[in-house]
Amino acid sequence: MLLASVLFLLGFALPPQLAGIRLPAGVKTVSFGQAQRYQGAGKEMCAIVHPLASPPVFETGVKEISYAIELEPRVVKSASARVVAPPRQELRAAGCNIFTPIKGGFSQTQVGSTLSRTDNAPLVPGPYALRITVDGQTAEIPFAVGR
């Protein structure tokens, strides 16, 4: 019950859709920021409690960025996301996906990741993009590191 309450409250922390970008059907919101990790339902989970304003810009020198894509339960059949980043850096991702129990199984309700460089250096400043694919529909959301 506590987990459900936390997820319910965090759902209200997510910003509305980014202006001018048409998200695939089944995507409720997209958030960028720093992920808060916590234990829930026997495994580590995460959420972005304080999302960045739109358009999302991370500070210069940041070593870790996160995104979360909230999905409509029972609606989405397949979802994936990938960050397109400037060259000269090798990135690693720590997943931040959430599955909710439903009658007969589970429904994925969040796709997300926390990204950092494999050499632990700050992320290269410049334009980035989050490419979301949901049930065959694709959208690209620009964001940046540094100004």
pLDDT in tens, 102-144: 777 778 888 999 999 999 999 999 999 999 999 999 999 999 9
Of 38, 45, 128, nearest in space to 91 by CA: 128
- 89 or 39: which leads in pLDDT: 89
Which pLDDT value is given to residue 70? 92
Percent of the chain with pLDDT over 90: 56
**Considering only 11-20, 72-81, 121-130, which range has the smallest mean pLDDT?**
11-20
Tokens of 15: 């910003």
- How much is the pLDDT for 61? 96
Instruction: Check: CB of residue 130 under 8 Å from CB of residue 81.
Output: yes
- Domain with residues 2-145, CATH architecture: Sandwich (2.60)
Domain ranges of the chain: 2-145
Between residues 16 and 28, which one has the greater pLDDT?
28
pLDDT value, residue 7:
37
Whole-model pTM? 0.81
Select from 134, 137, 3, 121 the least CA-distant residue to 62.
Answer: 121
Q: How confident is the model at residue 6 (pLDDT cuts 50, 70, 90)?
A: very low
